[in-house]
Chain A
């Protein structure tokens, strides 16, 4: 990862973003588009129609070999070994204390190998972590990140749009399934997954084909580009965790509400004992989502208070253009079971209402 002052990495679509007038910012060592026409407008477009995100900065590892599944079952908390070809599994990857190293998705390809997709900010860390834990497993680990570009087409009209371009495979692809599609004689992967809370497809394109693929998608023309700013407000509104915020080395998957992805029945995996204990006693703190009954946004680090007592801390804050209200997430004492509290915003108290996400859908 380049340090400050060094050149930022660029995805294959960098020029297209600049040409589209994107506001570019450094993110995880990459020069990425944070917005084009505006975060709120782009967010609304994805909820109502469809848009395309460039998420090529994310990492892709090939995990192959006779014990690839067993190895992943060891480093990941969810069950992966029995995953059939064509299926995807979301899983946290934990350390011995049950803290999260990263959260990722493992896709089983038709030949049995796994494609593991990790957060951009954690790519090197994750590769190092997994490599050093191969032990005696018969597994090979290859960092294929530079070979893949990744476009996420998300929104209620995503399927209709892609089918209209001739990608018939999308008509029958179920959630968390992948299809290997032939395009210009090469393999492109379509996965019915996403990070917005809408229907959508994440498309893995070989890097050298990526620009012509994006053009054939009509990216920036018929299909608007959506930036990382809206990606964050969308996932927050949908109640999806962002590593480093709702899950981290200090916030376990149990605290984050992802106990379902921690299969303590598995014989052994890194973090099993700590996580099994936490499941049994119940987590001391819980990640909860809220709307702010004020115009001000609750920012990361602000305290959640009941009177003078602090019951939690804000993890993420943004605005929902759908609700017209600020939204956020917080790590809250599990002992606090109420729904109403206040955020301390630079001395001023903002009333918040905790709700089960997705926040943009009425209860």
Chain B
């Protein structure tokens, strides 16, 4: 079973989000990095780019496939993990820590209905097999 930290929220597209007041940090889950295999490239947005929920904000590429990543909330990118440019494999080794993708300044309260807690995300992963 993949690792699913209790203190995070998740999306059905296998992203995680940590909300600290007005800022959120977003990444992809252990399940996602496992499924993708060796990650070879991460395409991230510029700072100050704005996104709505469900919009593609980047791409994660592995040897086998390229996968779009979707913004789970409404907000503006405040910080981008530049280290991933030279070391995309960090997404494989530390998806919840050094593998964070972007930090976002939230625009209003996030729609909690679309976010899964650790237990619900675990069940989703079980179902997807």
Please tell me if the beta carbons of A295 and B40 are within 8 angstroms of each other in the complex.
Answer: yes
Q: Is the interface of B mostly helix, strand, loop or mixed?
A: mixed
Interchain CB contact under 8 A, B40 and A319: yes
A295 and B41 CA atoms in complex are apart in Å by 6
Please give 15 more A-B residue pairs, beta carbons under 8 A apart, in addition to A41-B38, A296-B40, A297-B63.
A23-B37, A34-B37, A35-B37, A38-B38, A38-B92, A39-B38, A39-B64, A40-B38, A40-B63, A229-B37, A229-B64, A296-B41, A299-B66, A319-B40, A319-B63
8 closest Cβ contacts across the A-B interface? A295-B41, A40-B38, A39-B63, A39-B38, A38-B38, A319-B40, A296-B41, A319-B63
Smallest CB–CB gap between B88 and chain A, Å? 8
CA distance A297 to B43 in the complex (A): 12
A-side binding surface: helix, strand, loop or mixed?
mixed
Q: What chain A residues lie within 8 Å of B43 (beta carbons)?
A: 296
Cα–Cα, bound, A299→B61 (Å) = 11
How many positions in chain B have a CB within 8 Å of any CB in the partner chain?
A: 12
Considering only CB atoms, which chain B residue lies closest to A38 in the complex?
A: B38
A-side residues, CB < 8 A to B, are 23, 34-35, 38-41, 229, 233, 295-297, 299, 318-319, 326
- Report the bound CA distance from A326 to B66 in whole Å: 13
> Can you list 23 A-B pairs with a CB-CB distance of less than 8 A?
A23-B37, A34-B37, A35-B38, A38-B92, A39-B37, A39-B38, A39-B63, A39-B64, A40-B38, A40-B63, A41-B38, A233-B63, A295-B40, A295-B41, A296-B40, A296-B41, A296-B61, A296-B66, A297-B40, A297-B41, A297-B63, A318-B63, A319-B38
User: A326 CA to B43 CA in the complex, in Å?
Assistant: 16
Chain B contacts of A318 at CB under 8 A? Answer: 63
A319 and B41 alpha carbons, distance in the complex (Å): 11
Interfacial chain B residues near A39, Cβ < 8 Å = 37-38, 63-64
